[in-house]
Structure 1
Amino acid sequence: MGNWDAFIKDKSDWFTPTNVPNFAGRSSYRFMPDDHPPIPRIQESERNGFSLENILTRIYGTANPEFQNPPQDFDVTGNIVLPKLFGWLEDDISHVEGVRELSQLLNIELSGCSLLQLIHIGFNLYDYHYTPAVSRPRLGWNRSMFQSLTQQLVRQDICYYAAYVAIRPDHAWRLIAFPYYTKSAYPGEDTKFIHIDLALATGRGANAVQGSLSFTDEDGETCSVVLPGIHKHLARWWEIISTSPESQVLGNTVAVYPWIWDERCRQEFKTDFERSICMTGDVRLTLPCVPHGSVGPATTLRRTVMPWFGAVQDDHERLETAEAGVWSSISDAHRDLRLCTKDSVREHM
């Protein structure tokens, strides 16, 4: 008690997937535990004026800038799209010092140039040099793009950070981005998947908001899908799932199979999967308890990055989930512009 991370490290053989009979019975990961380690939070956020509406007013000038779903609905749905939070990436920067030299270096016409245009050049370079393993097809991902200039830029954006802190249920403010790869899906690629992060959804890191920033215009055939509102009914949903003879599912990330979400669930919970369409510069933020995924195959080019901010605990080392590693290994990866490997995580634990 009181030192969960040290305990599971000492008893690691207790928690391997082969020892877990089914995900509905993971007694180690119950629903929204009350014994989370302390994390720096903005106390009494509403009284101090720190709310999602106030943050959006400061960013946009209004708390409701043509939202698909208003911010006041976020607590109900667990998903929100912030329109054009990165709209400034499309601004003309051709007058900025150095752009002409860059145009000559790349032998590309950059008149009327924007950062977005340069970002797509960067994606093209990474895609050209990426060769996926034969046993692991692309599926719309570029698994070699971790520390690009684009990703470094996004991770440092103060408006994105403020919105992230405001949307987190615990308003934790000491965050670090986990170096994660990008989506760069081309028309025809198989991109369809729907899953739920079981470790997060059942308590561990339940405040770790997930999301993405889009660099292309999406449509109903090439976009994210979410299951809004199910985070309000997790215990009952797991109860239904656990009675199924097919509930032998292992691992932390669980695909949402038809038997996990069927007509019975749709009728009982009065919700169903819906598309969360983002335009260029839009940001999607989703609670980890909300199943999410992507439709497919892709019908148009889709490019996104996922900053993956996680909270750092009071010892300035452990993160909100032990599986994500520790601050020192992740900060080393950012400093050295490299991957945060499992070995580097272990050596710091």
Structure 2
Amino acid sequence: MTHLVLAPMEGLVDWRVRQLLSATGGFDLCVTEFIRVSQNLFPAHVFHRYCPELLNGGKTLSGVPVLVQLMGHDPELMGENAVVAVELGAPGIDINFGCPSKTVNKREAGASLLKCPENLYEIVSAVRRAVPGHIPVSAKVRLGYSDKEMFLDIARAVEAGGAQHLTVHARTKMEGYKPPAHWEYLARIREAISIGMTGNGEIWDVADYQKCRDISGCDSFMIGRGAIAAPDLANRIKAFEGGSHLPKESWADVLSMLLAYCDLMASDGASENHQAGRIKQWMALIRKSHTQGEACFDEIKRIRAIDELRAKLRHDMALPENQRTSDLIAAE
């Protein structure tokens, strides 16, 4: 059975997005945005800020487990922080070796560690030793830093360190998020290791999922930007695997989710600027899967007042679906 994971996209998939997307169905697991471990052993409130699901048994409100993701280069400090996360209720620890951010990589973290697979081994080993044996430890990697020459060494180092699972973003750090994703490498890694593996990269729709599955041979997939662009994608993939076709969610449903996101941000004390910025960020990706998204984004991108932005979303949501389509065609 296909296993789907919601990707931990820093600055985009916060606990609110995890709550909304996990509630739609389809996802089996979530992972937090990375917690950057550099010099300190973090207190509980830091973990709760990144993962308030710890106060709910380590699960979203709809019952989907949430792994706490750590990122850093100091093996012992990583292990010590992993212990705190587990004591607070984390159902598992994930280690980030894939972040391509220039700022992160300048500080010897994220994908920069891929240059030396021994780094991965040391960090995974330290975390594995630190947390109880029944707590799963996993890691997310890329195919390499500037090239793919060590892609098998990278995967084997994670396995040798004691991780139970490996997620592979099928690009190098230098390739960033530029298409294509090299799914053929996933098949070679899967054959070279004995632990569980999740494929990641460029899954935007059900057809992409099918191609990635067929090429990689994986049965577990992490979806990031594709799930933001099409919030019902996980559900449609599961339906496809079950032999049925699930129609794409309506534009009104998409707008309803964005309004619910506003409500969650407001209830958590987020500023109006933050709320508006996040909605625009989400809509920018929704354009890839919903034709109405382009016109809507063009209208909201200059709006700063959150009440005005909410009013625009509510107005569009109240329009008949055919009228929205007609307006879009007329605008073009």
Instruction: Kindly indicate whether structure 1 or structure 2 has the higher relative contact order, using CA contacts under 8 Å at least 6 residues apart.
Output: 1
TM tier relative to shorter chain: under 0.3
Taking structure 2 as the reference length, what is the TM-score of the superposition? 0.25
Structure having the higher helix fraction is 2
